[in-house]
Chains A and B, each alone.
Chain A
Amino acid sequence: SYVLTQPPSVSAAPGKTARITCGTPTIGTTGVHWYQQKPGQAPTLVICLDTERPSGIPERFSGSNSGNTATLTISRVEVGDEADYYCQVWDSRSDHWVFGGGTKLTVL
C-alpha cells in the first residue's frame, strides 16, 4: 500500500512560488490529487488527476507528477493561500484512499 510523504511545513513570501512535494515510490504511475484546508474548514480540492484545476481554482495553482514525487506549485503566493495542503491517491488494489500527512504553508 502507499505511504505518502509530505514535508510538515513550507514557507514562502507573498508574490513568490511555493512548492509542496508528495513522495512515494512509483507515484508517477497513479493519479495524485491535492486538497487545501484552512483552519476550521473542510478540505477543498485544488488539483485533481496530477495537473487539472477544478472550476474556480486560480491558475496560480498547478501540479505535476513524475517518478517518485508529485508536486503542488503555488505561484505568486498570497496571504490567503496560507493553509494545510494534503495529497491523496487511490489504491485500486485495495480500494483504499490514502492521504499524505499534510503540509502547512506559511506565507511570510
Chain B
Amino acid sequence: EVQLVETGGGLIHLGGSRRLSCEVSGFSISNNYMNWVRQAPGKGLEWLSVIYSAGSTFYADSVKGRFTISKDNSKNTLYLQLNDLRADDTAVYYCASVYCTSGSCYIDYWGQGVLVTVSA
C-alpha cells in the first residue's frame, strides 16, 4: 500500500524557517518524480516544486529562492525547506508522487497534508 506522510508543520513566525518531511512507503522515491503542492485556507491548489529522480529541481515563481526541495533516497523521504516565511505562505502543504506517460505528467498519490501557519 502506498502511503505519503507529511510532518513538520505548525505555527511559525514571520520571516522564520521550517523543514517539512514526507515519509513514503509502498514505492521507492529514487525512481519517482515528487511534487510539493499547497492549498491556502479556502483557496485552490498551488503547485510549488518538483524533484526528478535524477535530482533536478524546479520551482513556482512564488517560492523560488525561498523554498528548497530535496530528498534522501536511503530514507525514502522527501523534504521541503521553507525560508523567509510570509503570512501568505499559510497553507496545507501536500507531498505527492508524479506519474508521467504519453508526454504528460499527473499526480497519482497524495499525502494527507500538513498545516503551516505563519503569524506575527
Contact = CB atoms under 8 A, between A and B. Distances in A.
Range of interface residues on chain B? Answer: 20 to 34
A99 B104 contact: no
Q: Which 5 A-B pairs have the closest CB atoms?
A: A31-B104, A33-B106, A97-B47, A90-B105, A42-B110
Interface string B56-81: 00101000000000000000000000
Tell me whether chain A's interface is mostly helix, strand or loop, or mixed.
Answer: strand
Given A35-B107, A97-B105, A102 B58 contact: no
B87 interface: no
B102 interface: yes
A99 B112 contact: no
Interface of B: 35, 37, 44-47, 50, 58, 60, 94, 99-108, 110-113
Contacts of A90: 100, 104-106
Interface in A39-95: 42-45, 48-49, 54, 84, 86, 88-90, 92, 94-95
